[in-house]
Structure 1
Amino acid sequence: MQHQPSAGRSSQPRARASDPADRMLTVPNVLSALRLAGVPLFLWLLLGPHDDLLAVLVLALSGLTDWLDGKLARLLNQSSRLGALLDPAVDRLYTLSTLLGFGTREILPWWVVAVLLGRDLALLLALPVLRHHGYGPLPVHYVGKAATLCLLYAFPLLLLAHDVHGVVGAVAQAFAVAFTGWGGALYLWSGVLYLLQVRLTVRAARDAAGGVIGG
């Protein structure tokens, strides 16, 4: 004789509730996607027709939407895993493309470009080490976020100072140098902190593996 399922329990497996963090189509993610689409446009304006004022506008809008998507993610409760990956990836793309473009146009000396890109290369080389020990990319440090913010302010000011003369150009140059100095220093320091974090993570993984083997 078969027992009938009780009224309080469903005979069908309960559908798994969707995790809000798995959402893809959110306002912050749309803003990040628009920022991503602006990267090739910015490079074309910078290296093609040399339309620096429009390139400044693209950079300024990128910085604004970068701030806005984080704010909206908190206000609308729309933080997502995709956004956590997409937002810093777009920031790095803007940083990389701007540094290479500025080096090509001689807006920044190549040694500055090489130092800042060397930091990113060192972090990139650390990823296989983390993956070997079963870890993905480590979370972005707040110092790195502050560095990126400073550089995103510095880049349009550098371009404006390069294109505009007189009082406006002089003021833009002064602020550009300040933001570049602070942003560059924080960018390098955040790289050091990240590599130290990688070292501690790898050491902890090795100690844990040694404990399991020893046990």
Structure 2
Amino acid sequence: MTDGRIWTIPNLITIFRILLTPGFVIAYLDGNFLTAWGLFMVAGVSDGLDGFLARVMKQRSEFGAMIDPLADKILLVTSFICLSAQDYIPVWLTVLAVSRDLIIVGGLSLLKFYGVEVEKKIFPLWTSKITTALQLLVVFVVLTELAFRLDVDFVHPYLEIATAIFTFISGAIYIRRGMVMFEDEVE
């Protein structure tokens, strides 16, 4: 059950996660990869913590349901752009990941504009959860290499291909679902 509350502990943790992103960018651009890695890890732990607390404390809210995935996307998109700008992640993978998110957000906005109650009709797909996990893993692996001067380049091609496949598939499924919602609304 969700309600209209905004100032819950899980939502405050989510907002904190969003506020970590500028710190991550500053640390990364300053070449302080250990701090960037640490901030990324704190954001990851807080992502799990806010969802857990929302369930346990019965503090699920409509605001939390919207802001939580947004917080994930803000950190992921920012991380992908930073890492691809310095050739740590292929530009094509960043374009694919960012384009998918923009298409989803744009599609949701369009559906909302046409009066579709997307909050009640859309839910995370298992392919989307795998996509997010793979994208997080890509960033984690690269930041771990940079922060601890490790060399695991042999993992990159496999991880990048798996991430690309799931990013494409989940994006295509969301587009298809959006089209069905739009068709249902127009009829």
Same fold (TM over 0.5): yes
Distance in structure 1 (CA, Å) of the matches to 2:45 and 2:109: 33
The verdict on how the C-alpha distance between 1:81 and 1:132 changes in structure 2, with shifts beyond 3 A counting, is closer
Higher Cα radius of gyration? 1
Unaligned runs of 5+ in 2: none
**Alignment check: 8 A CA contact 1:63 1:153 kept:** no
TM-score, normalised to structure 2's length?
Answer: 0.86
The residue number in structure 2 matching 1:213 is none
Distance in structure 1 (CA, Å) of the matches to 2:59 and 2:83: 35
**Alignment check: 8 A CA contact 2:127 2:170 kept:** yes
AA aligned opposite 1:185:
I
- 2:133 aligned with 1:149, yes or no? yes
TM-score, normalised to structure 1's length?
Answer: 0.76
Distance in structure 1 (CA, Å) of the matches to 2:2 and 2:90: 45
Q: Which moved more, 1:141-150 or 1:110-119?
A: 141-150
2:38 to 47, 57, 60: 57
Please identify which structure carries the higher helix content. Answer: 2
The residue number in structure 2 matching 1:28 is 10
Distance in structure 2 (CA, Å) of the matches to 1:75 and 1:98: 30
**Alignment check: 8 A CA contact 1:32 1:66 kept:** yes
The residue number in structure 1 matching 2:21 is 39
Unaligned runs of 5+ in 1: 1-18, 208-215
The residue number in structure 2 matching 1:211 is none
1:119 to 71, 93, 100: 100
Residue 176 of structure 1: how far off its partner (Å): 5.9
Distance in structure 2 (CA, Å) of the matches to 1:20 and 1:97: 29
**Alignment check: 8 A CA contact 1:42 1:59 kept:** yes
**Alignment check: 8 A CA contact 2:34 2:148 kept:** no
Higher relative contact order, structure no. (Cα contacts within 8 Å, ≥ 6 residues apart) = 2
Q: Which runs of 4+ in 1 moved over 6 A?
A: none
The residue number in structure 2 matching 1:108 is 89
- For these two proteins, the number of residue pairs brought into alignment is 184
Residue 141 of structure 1: how far off its partner (Å): 2.5
AA aligned opposite 1:25:
W
Alpha-carbon deviations, 1:34-79, whole Å to 9, x = none?
10110100011111x1100110111111111111111111111111
SS of structure 1 residue aligned to 2:3: helix
- 2:77 aligned with 1:96, yes or no? yes
Distance in structure 2 (CA, Å) of the matches to 1:63 and 1:149: 10
SS of structure 1 residue aligned to 2:60: coil
**1:69-84 maps to which residues of 2 (within 5 A)?**
69-84=50-65
The residue number in structure 2 matching 1:6 is none
Distance in structure 2 (CA, Å) of the matches to 1:125 and 1:74: 29
- 2:176 aligned with 1:196, yes or no? yes
**Alignment check: 8 A CA contact 1:127 1:136 kept:** no
Q: CA RMSD in A?
A: 2.2
Calculate percent identity across the aligned residue pairs: 22
Distance in structure 1 (CA, Å) of the matches to 2:5 and 2:147: 42
Residue 97 of structure 1: how far off its partner (Å): 0.4
